[in-house]
Amino acid sequence: MNRKTNHIMVFALSLVLLLLLAAPFAQAAERGKVTARLVMYATNVQSIPVGDVEGHIIFLYEAKGITFWEPWGAALAKESSIGDRTKGVGPSESYDIYTFPDGSTITTKSKGEAKSAGPGKTGTGAAEGTWTFLGGTAKFQGIQGGGTWKAWVLGPGQFYVDAEAEYTLP
pLDDT at 61 over 70: yes
pLDDT the model gives residue 157: 87
- Residue range 6-19: average pLDDT? 54
Q: pLDDT tens for residues 62-88?
A: 999 999 999 999 999 999 999 999 988
What residues does each domain of the chain span? 30-169
Q: Tens digits of per-residue pLDDT, 105-158? A: 999 999 999 987 655 455 557 899 999 999 999 999 999 999 999 999 888 889
- The whole-number pLDDT of residue 23 equals 47
- DSSP string for the chain: --HHHHHHHHHHHHHHHHHHHHGGGSPPPEEEEEEEEEEEEEEEEEEEE-SSSTTEEEEEEEEEEEEEEETTEEEEEEEEEEEEEETTBEEEEEEEEEE-TTS-EEEEEEEEEEEE--TTSTT--EEEEEEEEEEESGGGTT-EEEEEEEEEEEETTEEEEEEEEEEEE-
Class of domain 30-169: mainly beta
pLDDT of 54 > 70? The answer is yes
Q: Specify the pTM.
A: 0.81
Q: Give residue 159's pLDDT.
A: 92
